[in-house]
Structure 1
Amino acid sequence: MDNMNQVRSTFDATAGGYDAQRRKLIPCFDDFYGTAVSLADTEEARPRILDLGAGTGLLASMLLRKHPEARLTLIDLSDNMLSVAKERFSGREGIEYLCQDYTAYAAGESYDCIVSSLSIHHLPDEGKQAVYRNAYANLKPGGVFINADQVLGRTPFVDALYKEDWKRKIEASGLTRAELDAACERTKLDRMAGLEEQLAWLAQAGFSDVACVYQSFNFVVLYGRKRRG
């Protein structure tokens, strides 16, 4: 089974309990997601927002609190994760659900914001670069791209520091042994890349004002915008 099929089957199996564990598995949860939402600025009253690897719609739900009239497209490999999102947004109009590989997604019309959280790090490096190029193509001029994700440390020593910090914090989070073991097992699906490499890839894709706006160990929020004109 290739990595993306493993990702699909793993997250299909964990969809039901995914949200309940987020705060415990992401030690910097509030700042991490809060920064991503803060960066999702647009002058549009009803912005079009694309969420890549949207999962259960957790980030999308936060964006809707900021932009209650937004029109959302949620795309994810896992049908079970999207089923949770559909329940979350039951009765709400203006939300499209796509169960497919987003790496080559071509939009019918452009978006004001394209976001992703804790998904792109599952892709190989060439897949990450393809996503960044496609995100640029799918944005309106003036639109922004935000990736809240995980990165490798600059050196093996620093990367080990990141991993040990995460393990220490989740061990003290109150998760059960089974939940901890499952979370550690899921890290085997990770294909993380370095921060500097990904900032360079965003710039190469055409984005301006590329920056890492937030970092806590290996949790980062990356930003880029598409210039007008």
Structure 2
Amino acid sequence: MESVKEQFDEISKKYDSQRRILIPCYDDFYGIATEWLHLNSPTPKILDLGAGTGLFSQFVLEKYPQADITLLDFSEQMLTVARERFANLKNVSFQIADMTTFQPQGKYDAVISSLAIHHLSDKDKQELFRKIHGLLNEGGVFVNAEQVKGSTDYIHSFYTQRRHHRLDHSELSKEAVGASYERNKLDKCASVSEQMEWLRQAGFKEVDCPFKYYIFAVLWGMK
């Protein structure tokens, strides 16, 4: 995982500014992920795994401004950007840790993640889903705004071709596009159907994929 950490340490300052170009469905992707975080309490306890610069957490805090939210990431540089983003909020805390080995601190009403879990092996994904299920209060939800693999090699190849065509003709510099392709080499994406089955196996009683656009999908589970 060290190579993943190094690449995200390097991109930390530019991460947010590139999101809308790298994610063509940006508004729906984060908007629907946030919409499916439907919680009963106005002050929910939330854990953001692989939180990075806190982009997803910002959407969540706009919906639940009084949420007690912890941002966890193994990149100190990414969390430094997040600390600047939430500098004046006392209800936001930070934890530098690997999502696969961190020690839980109590139960949560929700666990969220965005564009992070696809860096794990399939085995580690399944173990993490079980861990997340154990972290949640009854009725709690897991929302994962994720990068996924096509359901077949042919479909995934088409996704990749379309993405490369769009980025190669985007306003991003050649260096930024090349850096994105280098980060993609570290991806270990799984399909939507595989991950939905793993969520069921982890114990989630309700599972869905409320949004998907090529390689971007929102996966949801309720305990």
- Find the counterpart in structure 1 of residue 3 from structure 2: 6
User: Aligned partners of 2:214, 2:73: CA distance in 1, in Å?
Assistant: 26
Measured after TM superposition, the shift of residue 208 of structure 1 is 1.4
How many residues are aligned here? 223
Q: What amino acid is aligned across from residue 64 of structure 2 in structure 1? A: H
Unaligned runs of at least 5 residues, structure 1: none
User: Aligned partners of 2:104, 2:97: CA distance in 1, in Å?
Assistant: 13
Q: What amino acid is aligned across from residue 65 of structure 1 in structure 2? A: E
Tell whether 2:188 aligns with 1:195.
Answer: no
Q: What amino acid is aligned across from residue 157 of structure 1 in structure 2? A: Y
User: Aligned partners of 1:106, 1:178: CA distance in 2, in Å?
Assistant: 37
- In angstroms, what is the RMSD of aligned CA positions? 0.9
- What percentage of aligned pairs have identical amino acids? 43
User: Aligned partners of 2:189, 2:23: CA distance in 1, in Å?
Assistant: 16
User: Aligned partners of 1:173, 1:37: CA distance in 2, in Å?
Assistant: 27
- Find the counterpart in structure 2 of residue 133 from structure 1: 130
Q: What amino acid is aligned across from residue 47 of structure 1 in structure 2? A: P
Tell whether 2:102 aligns with 1:99.
Answer: no
User: Aligned partners of 2:105, 2:88: CA distance in 1, in Å?
Assistant: 24
Q: What amino acid is aligned across from residue 79 of structure 1 in structure 2? A: E
User: Aligned partners of 2:96, 2:150: CA distance in 1, in Å?
Assistant: 32
Tell whether 2:28 aligns with 1:67.
Answer: no
Q: What amino acid is aligned across from residue 51 of structure 1 in structure 2? A: D
Runs of 4 or more, structure 1, over 6 Å off, are none
- Find the counterpart in structure 1 of residue 159 from structure 2: 162
Query: What are the residue-to-residue correspondences of 1:1-229 with 2, within 5 Å?
Result: 4-226=1-223
User: Aligned partners of 1:20, 1:89: CA distance in 2, in Å?
Assistant: 17
Measured after TM superposition, the shift of residue 120 of structure 1 is 0.3
Deviation digits for residues 61-114 of structure 1, max 9, x if unmatched?
A: 110000000011100010000000000000210111111111243422211111
Deviation digits for residues 180-202 of structure 1, max 9, x if unmatched?
A: 11111110110111221111100
User: Aligned partners of 2:139, 2:45: CA distance in 1, in Å?
Assistant: 13
SS in 1 for 2:131: helix
Q: TM-score, normalised by structure 1?
A: 0.95
